[in-house]
Amino acid sequence: MRPSVNRPPTPDVQENQEKEPTLQETINIKLIESGEKERLMELLRERLVECGWKDEMKAICRAFIKKKGRNNVTVDDLVHVITPKGRASVPDSIKAELLQRIRKFLVSAAL
Amino acid sequence: MSLPNEDNMASQLSSHFFGDLLDSIIVDVASECHRIARLGLDRNLEDEEEELRLSAQARVRVADPSNSGEANSKYVVDIFGQSHPSVASEVFECMNCGRSIVAGRFAPHLEKCMGKGRKARPKVTRSSTAAQNRYSRGSPVSAYSPYSNSTSSNRLSNGTSGVAGEEYSNGTFQEP
pLDDT one-digit tens code per residue, B51-79? 778 888 878 877 766 655 555 455 667 77
Q: In chain A, what are the domain boundaries? A: 22-110
Q: Pick from B31, B42, B38, B40: which is nearest to A81 by CA?
A: B31
The DSSP secondary-structure symbol of B138 reads T
Angle at CA B108, nearest 5°, toward B103 and B73?
Answer: 60
Radius of gyration for chain A, computed over Cα atoms and rounded to the nearest angstrom: 21
State the sign of the Cα–Cα–Cα–Cα dihedral A20, A21, A24, A30.
Answer: negative
Position B163 pLDDT exceeds 70: no
Q: A22-110: which CATH architecture?
A: Orthogonal Bundle (1.10)
Residues whose CB falls within 8 Å of the CB of residue A89, separated by 6 or more in sequence, listed in order: A53, A56
Asked if B160 contacts B83 with a C-beta cutoff of 8 angstroms, the reply is no
Interface pTM, i.e. ipTM: 0.82
Which of A57, A76, A81 is best to mutate for the B interface (most B CBs within 10 A)? A57
Q: Are strands B100-102 and B83-84 parallel, antiparallel or unpaired?
A: unpaired
pTM value? 0.51
Please answer yes or no on whether A87 and B19 come within 8 Å at the CB atom.
yes
Least confident span in A58-62, A66-70, A79-83: A66-70
Tell me how far CA of residue B82 lies from CA of B61, B65, B67, B79, B87, in angstroms. 18, 21, 15, 7, 15
Which of A40, A50, A61, A95 is best to mutate for the B interface (most B CBs within 10 A)? A61
The DSSP code sequence of B40-102 is: T--HHHHHHHHHHHHHHHHHHHHH-GGG--TTTSS-EE-TTS-EE-SS---EEE-TTT--EEE
From chain A, the residues in CB contact with B26 under 8 A are 57, 79, 82-83, 86-87
